[in-house]
């Protein structure tokens, strides 16, 4: 039987969607490095380095800080499966798709879940969370998304940390779209459990979930009456491989860990403060350009993420066609809306290696051209001019 095959030759895209982002050449080269075994002495030195670099990035001293083998969703599932069990109560903020996924994960553990909802494009208000904490005795876990990928909202965490301490519950935070692009300070902010993904502001291919948990959280986990449902994501087993003895658990994705190591080294070399400022600068320039074009940004103004911007599709414009034409004619990827925002917004990511002034100008110029051809009235060059002015401010 003849089996047709295709020569692997993917196009070179400018990735400005909700993830993945473009990767640095050093990260690309790392994946071509010679393969060694997952228990090889050399690989163990890379594991140690990677954990140290992740602690620097998360701004934590947590011993259990390592990448879970799996995408950011594996980090999410590990976070709920190891700390919740039947009979527990979890309060979860829901203002987008990934808050909804948190609820789904928590419910699968058998816990009682109390969603605290807000409009998709607004923050979860501390008063609403406190009302939920007051209404339910012995809440074990408070979970929130820091940067909601489906809306581009950036959730303030200061008041949430205070509430978690006051009501003696664990604070769990999803930083998939914020880590390495926005400030994330696990220890200073009192975050007990935190996970992310590699493919966004870290600019590493998808496939690993950076994770950290403090001693308080681990002590709670060790008092479980039942084992974690997932053997693969059981932190007691994973920590034996990564943190306490190199005891074989699974065959780690060696090449992906190489890539993450290089991505983290690049972040450390740039500096966390400089990296956050870079994302803020380019996010502000993009948003200035979009507003100058008469487009409406979806997320509440005071809480817009710089790593991901949501913009409403103008009436009369075929948003899906614009996405397709950007890809076909300009090799630029952006994302559409999810859930109730499907067909209503575009999502533009400026994350990691993709967060550059050149990419801001490239996208605005292309988008302006396509909008004009869609019949949207906009003055030629106004978006690019506003973005350049913002970049030069």
Give the residue-averaged pLDDT of 144-148: 98
Q: What is the pLDDT of residue 3?
A: 79
* Mean pLDDT, all residues of the chain: 97
- For residue 1, pLDDT over 80 is answered with no
Which domains are delineated in the chain? 25-269 (3.40.640.10), 272-392 (3.90.1150.10)
Q: What is the pLDDT of residue 244?
A: 86
In which residue are the tokens 């930083």 written? 175
- For residue 2, pLDDT over 90 is answered with no
In which residue are the tokens 């501390």 written? 126
3-class secondary structure, 167: coil
Give the separation between CA 305 and CA 86, rounded to whole angstroms: 35
Given phi > 0 = left and psi -120 to 50 = alpha, else beta, which region is 152?
A: left
Using alpha carbons, list the distances in angstroms from residue 3 to 6, 7, 9, 10: 10, 13, 18, 20
Q: Among 63-72, 142-151, 236-245, which is the least confidently predicted range?
A: 236-245
Give the residue-averaged pLDDT of 300-315: 98
Sign of CA dihedral 232, 236, 237, 239: positive
188-234 confidence digits (pLDDT tens): 999 999 999 999 999 999 999 999 999 999 999 999 998 999 999 99
Reported confidence tier of residue 271, pLDDT bands at 50, 70, 90:
very high
Q: What is the pLDDT of residue 245?
A: 86
93-120 confidence digits (pLDDT tens): 999 999 999 999 999 999 999 999 999 9
Give the residue-averaged pLDDT of 250-277: 98
The answer to whether the CB of 77 falls within 8 A of the CB of 102 is no
Reported confidence tier of residue 5, pLDDT bands at 50, 70, 90:
confident
Q: What is the pLDDT of residue 4?
A: 76
3-class secondary structure, 191: coil
User: Which regions of the chain does DSSP assign to beta strands (E)?
Assistant: 14-15, 64-69, 89-94, 112-117, 141-145, 147-148, 153-154, 170-174, 193-195, 208-213, 308-312, 332-333, 335-336, 345-349
Q: What is the pLDDT of residue 349?
A: 98
Give the separation between CA 103 and CA 368, rounded to whole angstroms: 39
Using alpha carbons, list the distances in angstroms from residue 140 to 113, 129, 176, 226: 10, 14, 22, 16
Provide the whole-model pTM.
Answer: 0.97
């Amino acid at each position: 039987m003849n089996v047709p095959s295709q020569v692997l030759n993917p196009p070179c895209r400018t990735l400005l969607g909700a993830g993945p982002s473009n990767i640095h050449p050093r990260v690309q080269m790392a994946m071509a490095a010679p393969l060694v075994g997952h228990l090889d002495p050399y690989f163990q030195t890379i594991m140690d380095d990677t954990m140290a670099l992740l602690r620097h990035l998360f701004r934590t001293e947590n011993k259990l800080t390592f990448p879970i083998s799996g995408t950011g969703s594996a980090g999410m599932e590990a976070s709920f499966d190891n700390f919740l069990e039947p009979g527990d109560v979890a309060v979860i903020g829901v203002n987008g798709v990934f808050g909804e996924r948190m609820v789904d994960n928590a419910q699968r553990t058998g816990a009682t879940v109390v969603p605290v909802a807000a409009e998709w494009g607004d923050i979860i208000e501390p008063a609403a969370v406190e009302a939920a904490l007051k209404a339910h005795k012995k809440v074990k876990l408070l979970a929130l998304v820091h940067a909601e990928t489906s809306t581009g909202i950036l959730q303030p965490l200061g008041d949430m940390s205070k509430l978690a301490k006051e009501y003696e519950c664990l604070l769990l935070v999803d930083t998939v779209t914020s880590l390495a692009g926005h400030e994330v300070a696990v220890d200073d902010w009192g975050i007990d459990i935190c996970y992310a993904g590699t493919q966004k502001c870290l600019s590493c291919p998808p496939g690993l979930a950076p994770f950290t948990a403090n001693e308080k959280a681990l002590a709670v986990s060790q008092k479980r009456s039942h084992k974690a449902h997932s053997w693969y994501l059981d932190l007691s087993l994973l920590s034996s491989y990564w943190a306490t003895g190199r005891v074989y658990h699974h065959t780690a994705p060696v090449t992906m860990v190489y890539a993450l190591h290089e991505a983290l080294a690049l972040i450390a070399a740039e500096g966390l403060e400089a990296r956050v400022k870079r994302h803020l600068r380019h996010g502000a320039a993009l948003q200035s350009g979009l507003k100058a074009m008469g487009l409406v940004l979806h997320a509440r103004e005071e809480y817009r993420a710089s790593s991901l911007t949501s913009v409403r599709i103008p009436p009369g414009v075929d948003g899906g066609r614009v996405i397709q034409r950007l890809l076909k004619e300009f090799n630029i990827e952006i994302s559409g809306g999810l859930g109730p925002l499907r067909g209503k917004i575009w999502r533009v990511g400026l994350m990691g290696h993709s967060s550059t002034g050149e990419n801001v100008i490239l996208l605005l110029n292309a988008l302006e051209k396509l909008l004009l051809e869609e019949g949207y009235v906009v003055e030629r060059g106004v978006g690019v001019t506003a973005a350049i002015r913002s970049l030069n401010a």
